[in-house]
Structure 1
Amino acid sequence: MKAVWWFRTIMMFVYLSLLLMAVGALVGFIFNSNFIYWSLAFLAISLFVCFFSYYNSKQMALKANKVRIIRREDNPRLYDMVAELAQKSGLPMPEVGISYTPVANAFATGRNPENAAVVATSGILDLLPDDELRGVLAHEMSHVRNRDILVMGIASAISIVISYVSQMAWYAAIFSRDSENRGMIMLAALAAQIVVPFAALLIQLGISRNREYLADESGARLINDPMALARALQHLERQNDATVQSYTLEDMARKDRNTPDATLNICTNRNYAHMWISNPLKKKGILESMFSTHPSTESRVARLTELAKKMGQ
């Protein structure tokens, strides 16, 4: 099954790359230049952006989510669980951190297993029993082992470049001096401005959901207890729905980071929503499956339940 998830991820990256090269070719057409050179130039730009994002991903994520790196004496329960799972995974011991927010959640970050950090919120440490917390941490360690931080960093960077180049194509079309093909150029640039970034976003979100399914399966196999992770996901969804709804929009918009309400913003930052095990910004509705960074809890639990049956549990 793991090979299936990797194949789907690779195909989505192929689609993203084709989108980028198509927009680059459009810019080349507008400037009456060689299409292939423009396509390759923008592909090179995306690779540079990917590298920068990849190299700095850990520090950016820790800072944005106000994480405090801990030692064993600060929280032996959390530290020992991460150490146990790292050993079982055959991975180096990652840094362990706590983000002080009432929202129960966890995430992993770092450009590679040697530079990783596993973070839990104070909310999840208070909420989950040991077996469920171990399931959540196994999910996060699987993200590290599967190099999902790198995968999503690249996907995000390519999507950003695609949006930028699409915008560039539109402005280039506006100021184009090609009067003979102006109508066709404007139409193509308008389509690129509207459709291409939207398509890139859908592909990026699809990659994110794909990696969550893979981490669920890998984590469940790591602890040999799919239902512990399934219970944790259900527990997190119920608790976080209640926690987030207890805050008004005015509370969530406060700028003062020293107020208790401001700690909620840590887990509701859209730029990092894809990193958490449970998406704090999920929306319900028929389009949820298309526009969410995470699969629905129902579908994740169903897959974990099926995995438990296959494992004879």
Structure 2
Amino acid sequence: MNLNGLKTAMLMAAIVALFGVIGAALGGRGGMLLALLFGGGLNVFAWWNSDKMVLRMYNAQEVDAASAPEFYSLVAELAGRAGLPMPRVFVIHEEQPNAFATGRDPEHAAVAATTGILRMLEYRELRGVMAHELAHVRHRDTLISTVSATMAGAISALANFAMFFGGRDEYGRPSNPFAGILVAILAPVAASLIQMAISRAREFEADRGGAEISGDPLALASALRKIEYYAQGLPLPTAEAHPETAQMMIINPLAGGSSLGDLFRTHPHTEQRIERLNEIARQRF
């Protein structure tokens, strides 16, 4: 198993364990077993369907060479440079400039970009962004991000259920309400921490991979600076409603970013990413 495969297995195991913790709070050992079975089943479902769920969530529209010739041909050219199969290409009708990749493997990958990013970036900047997304596909990061987004959303819903409806132990006695509240608070936090730690490391590697695929690290650096500037003033309603999907994007789409410092950041600081890309450019030339 490669490193990314090991990360995926660890992520899925940790999140299934969180299901068990919530299940124990709701129904003792019996509830824990049921929650573990539910979490395991959801993992399998998310493995095969999380990409479709996320694309549907963002109301992404698939395009082809006829409906979006310039964008489609740009992705095709970069996929060829990266040695990847041609991914499905989607457009999201939102003003905020952003993009993401999804899919369980390179043979079932998709890339999506907002109409805002297509309009605001110059061609070479957009090329750098899509090279970054294809680097995620090549590194097989897309499975990690889409599965974790699906599972984290389910954990938040189950934790809220635990807080508002409480639970019973294996003998049918009401469980400690304070334990339910504690689980409802800590379980989503733990799921987010798992997501964030993996997400930040992946972004640096995808920047490096994108620079390699495009052959133009300064274009990606310029794009990151421009995307962050415009994204701060343009909301992305779907991301606000489903914050567990924020880590999939090339730049954090959430208004205000993280209020708790670097621990809950979905992405590395953009200036750090730009500095690394500038260093790559210096090494190349």
TM-score scaled to structure 1, two decimals?
Answer: 0.73
In structure 2, what is the equivalent of residue 129 of structure 1?
122
Q: Deviations over 1:217-241 (max 9, x none)?
A: 2212222332221111001111223
- 1:106 maps to 99
Q: How far does the alpha carbon of each residue in 1:254-273 deviate from its partner, in whole angstroms, 9 at most, with x for none?
A: xxxxxxxxxx6356543533
| Identity level (%) | 37
Q: Against the structure 1 CA distance between its residues 188 and 274, is the aligned structure 2 distance closer, same or farther, given a 3 Å change threshold? A: same
Aligned AA for 2:281?
A
SS of 2:284's partner is coil
Aligned CA-pair RMSD: 3.5
Which amino acid in structure 1 is aligned with residue 132 of structure 2? Answer: H
1:206 to 2:200 alignment? no
Please report how far the alpha carbon of residue 20 of structure 1 lies from its aligned counterpart in structure 2 after TM superposition. 4.6
Residue 275, structure 1, aligned to residue 248, structure 2: yes
Gaps (5+ residues) in structure 1?
245-251, 253-263
CA–CA separation in structure 1 for the residues paired with 2:81 and 2:8: 25
Q: Who wins on radius of gyration, i.e. which is larger?
A: 1
Counterpart pick for 1:85 among 53, 78, 83: 78
By how many angstroms is 1:295 displaced?
Answer: 2.4
Q: Match for 2:52 among 59, 69, 86?
A: 59
Q: How far 1:274 sits from its partner (Å)?
A: 2.8
Code of the aligned partner of 2:242: R
Between the aligned partners of 1:219 and 1:145, the Cα distance in structure 2 is 10
Tell me the SS of whatever aligns to 1:108. strand
The equivalent position to 2:40 in structure 1, one of 34, 47, 50, is 47
Q: CA deviation at 1:54?
A: 2.9
Are 2:258 and 1:265 equivalent residues in the alignment? no
Please say if residues 11 and 194 of structure 2, whose CA atoms lie closer than 8 Å, have aligned partners that are also in contact. Answer: yes
Secondary structure of 2:167's counterpart equals: helix
Number of positions where the alignment pairs a residue of Structure 1 with one of Structure 2: 281
Query: 1:312 aligned to 2:273?
Result: no
Q: Decide which of 245, 255, 272 is 1:299's aligned counterpart.
A: 272
- Structural mapping, 1:130-145, within 5 Å: 130-145=123-138
For 1:186 and 1:60, the matched residues in 2 are separated by 33
Quickly say closer, same or farther: Cα 1:282–1:174, change in 2 above 3 A: same
| Deviation of the 1:97 alpha carbon | 2.1
Alpha-carbon distance in 2 for matches of 1:220, 1:135: 7
Matches within 5 A, 1:1-313: 15-16=14-15, 19-21=18-20, 30-31=28-29, 42-160=35-153, 162-163=155-156, 171-173=166-168, 189-242=180-233, 244=234, 265=237, 268-271=240-243, 272-283=245-256, 287-309=260-282, 311-313=283-285
Q: Which amino acid aligns with 2:211?
A: A
Distance 1:132 1:168, change over 3 A: closer
Name the amino acid aligned to 1:172: G
